[in-house]
């Protein structure tokens, strides 16, 4: 009998197939004592396993490229964390086996983070995956992971670690469903990059029996268990209709009455550029530069290395707009040479621009490299700072840009509510705003973007978040400047219309989402988008806001 479940849709498309479950986690190693004479040998085994797992994660990242590469390199750094390894060595020295010492050291670190309520508590899926990989290697057992299957299937998991998501085979994995995660989790971001339909934060997903046929709608978040032939046909027809609309929609982004909406791509490095160009991106709205700094957590990349990487991206968009975000270190992207190791709450500490202002040489080198990379190119370079809190921050960044001789527009990211509330003040120092809706939601609702239990508060349809977007856009319009969105909210075709109705001037997203958003905008006038935005802001919950906007745009 057909039943319907609802999670959070995070990647467009429809998948219909049999359920296959993710491999089970590594069993807990037995707690047994070793002779003191064996301690050095066990410590060596532990180090070899850790180094092998880190190398494997980096290799997987090199194969995946783009955003996945940066995520997996960060996970490799987690595996080799010096404090964790010191704890492993200590436990072995007092009698633990290598595998038990790794298991217990990671468990202690996990409990410490959860107990302290730190931002990194949201990375438990990544942490558990690293532990499982090291323990599996030490025990000599197969790595838990994506099931072997000759037939396509829908993957079900409690959560998906980046190492698994990055290398999913879209010809076999039709879609996936997880119990944990949220719309801005690593799994969701990588699913969109792969173009695989996905639903996250679905309670009880693990209870779906192996082999059960389900239909996954990655747009609505609905899961249809044992769907009828009629339901299958309905979903497939809707999917075909969407595909036809995508094929028919080409060229620059615009509403049906000709209001221009530049559609830009989020890129994590040169590897993401081909997909952005193929999708018809009109430029880059968010060039994440962290990939350069994750190669070596102890040293900043040289100016020459930075110039080479930046120029590859700038050359791909002649006459286009490329918005570069300077290094956003701290919180979930710690770097040994920059970020303090003992902050009680890294998300609320020294991160983003605060880190760079504490290390002006790192900022100066990056800005100088960007200036040199843009020399002689017709590209419209814009550079923005992450985690700007107020006008003082904005002025400090603009001053640094000018001191480095950078001929570009300087901008500020709006990721902290104070920046939205005082946007007009900030715009006295910079030339544009870019809304990072992922972090803006996190700080507005005190809801970690990686924790499934609070995923409803990470929903970009939350009316309070829409209010902050509107405040920022109104301030930019009053100052005659631009205000874009580069968070994951821009990848939702319906929400994209609402954002334009709120006054946002450009949208930046993963390349795979650009055709969907372009087709959606082309169906409505600017006035319709404005009415939908007003209806969404008048609602009291994310679900009501979405339904209200949908009602306006569908003429109900």
Distance of alpha carbon 355 from the chain centroid: 21
In what side-by-side order are the strands of the sheet with 173-178?
Answer: 3-6, 222-225, 213-217, 14-21, 153-157, 173-178, 198-200, 8-11
Q: Which residue among 12, 186, 401, 497 is the active-site one?
A: 186
Q: Are 433 and 409 within 8 A, CB to CB?
A: no
Q: Would you give the DSSP letter of residue 284?
A: E
Q: Cα(68)–Cα(196) distance, rounded to whole angstroms? A: 14
Burial of 122 (C-beta count, 10 Å sphere; 0-12/13-18/19+): buried
SS3 71: helix
Burial of 234 (C-beta count, 10 Å sphere; 0-12/13-18/19+): middle
Task: Say whether 486 is catalytic.
Answer: yes
CA angle 264, 266, 270 (to 5 degrees): 110
Nearest to 327 by CA among 278, 277, 370, 371: 370
Q: What's the per-residue H, E or C state across 338-393?
A: CCCCCCCCHHHCCCCHHHHHHCHHHHHHHHHHHHHHHCCCCCEEEEEECCCCCHHH
Q: Which residue among 401, 483, 486, 529 is the active-site one?
A: 486
Q: Cα(412)–Cα(432) distance, rounded to whole angstroms? A: 7
The per-residue DSSP string of 117-150 comes to T-GGGGGHHHHHHHHHHHHHHHHT-PPP-SPP-S
CB atoms within 10 A of CB 354: 18
267 phi, psi to nearest 5 deg:
-130, 145
Q: Cα(269)–Cα(142) distance, rounded to whole angstroms? A: 33
Residues acting as catalytic residues: 186, 486
């Amino acid at each position: 009998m057909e039943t319907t479940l609802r999670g959070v849709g995070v990647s467009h498309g429809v998948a219909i197939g049999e359920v296959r479950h993710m491999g089970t986690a590594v069993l807990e190693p037995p707690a047994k004592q070793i002779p003191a004479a064996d301690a050095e040998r066990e410590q060596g085994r532990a180090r070899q396993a850790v180094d092998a797992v880190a190398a494997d994660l980096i290799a997987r990242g090199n194969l995946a490229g783009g955003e996945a590469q940066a995520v997996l390199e960060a996970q490799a750094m987690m595996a080799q964390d010096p404090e964790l390894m010191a704890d492993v060595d200590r436990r072995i020295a007092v009698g633990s086996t290598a595998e038990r010492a790794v298991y217990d050291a990671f468990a202690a670190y996990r409990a410490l983070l959860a107990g302290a309520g730190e931002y990194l508590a949201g990375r438990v899926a990544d942490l558990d995956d690293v532990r499982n990989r090291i323990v599996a290697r030490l025990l000599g057992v197969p790595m838990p992971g994506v099931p072997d299957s000759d037939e396509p299937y829908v993957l079900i998991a409690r959560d998906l670690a980046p190492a698994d998501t990055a290398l999913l085979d879209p010809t076999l994995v039709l879609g996936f469903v997880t119990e944990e995660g949220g719309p801005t989790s690593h799994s969701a971001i990588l699913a969109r990059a792969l173009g695989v339909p996905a639903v996250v934060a679905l309670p009880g997903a693990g209870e779906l029996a192996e082999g059960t046929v389900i239909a996954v709608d990655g747009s609505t978040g609905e899961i249809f268990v044992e769907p009828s032939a009629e339901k299958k046909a309905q979903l497939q027809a809707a999917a075909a209709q969407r595909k036809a609309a995508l094929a028919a929609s080409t060229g620059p982004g615009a509403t049906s009455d000709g209001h221009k909406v530049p559609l830009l791509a989020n890129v994590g490095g040169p590897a993401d550029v081909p997909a952005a160009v193929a999708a018809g991106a009109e430029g880059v709205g968010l060039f994440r530069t962290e990939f350069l700094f994750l190669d070596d957590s102890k040293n900043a990349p040289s100016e020459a290395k930075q110039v080479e990487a930046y120029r590859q991206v700038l050359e791909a968009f002649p006459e286009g707009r490329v918005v570069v975000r300077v290094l956003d270190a701290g919180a979930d992207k710690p770097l040994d040479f920059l970020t303090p190791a003992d902050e009680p709450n890294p998300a609320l500490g020294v991160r983003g621009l605060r880190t760079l202002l504490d290390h002006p040489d790192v900022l100066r080198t990056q800005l100088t490299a960007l200036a040199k990379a843009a020399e002689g190119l017709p590209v419209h370079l814009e550079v923005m700072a992450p985690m700007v809190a107020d006008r003082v921050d904005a002025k400090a960044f603009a001053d640094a840009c000018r001191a480095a001789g950078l001929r570009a527009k300087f901008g500020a990211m709006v990721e902290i509510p104070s920046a939205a509330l005082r946007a007009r003040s900030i715009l006295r120092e910079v030339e544009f705003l870019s809304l990072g809706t992922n972090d803006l939601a996190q700080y507005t609702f005190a809801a970690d973007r990686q924790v499934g239990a609070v995923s409803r508060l990470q929903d970009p349809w939350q009316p309070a978040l829409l209010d902050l977007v509107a405040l920022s856009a109104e301030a930019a319009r009053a100052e005659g400047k631009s205000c874009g969105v580069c968070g994951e909210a821009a990848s939702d075709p319906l929400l994209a219309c609402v954002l334009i109705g709120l006054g946002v001037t450009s949208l930046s997203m993963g390349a795979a989402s650009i055709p969907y958003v372009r087709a959606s905008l082309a169906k409505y006038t600017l006035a319709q988008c404005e009415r939908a935005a007003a209806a969404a802001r008048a609602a009291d919950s994310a679900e009501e806001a979405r339904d209200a906007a949908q009602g306006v745009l569908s003429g109900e």
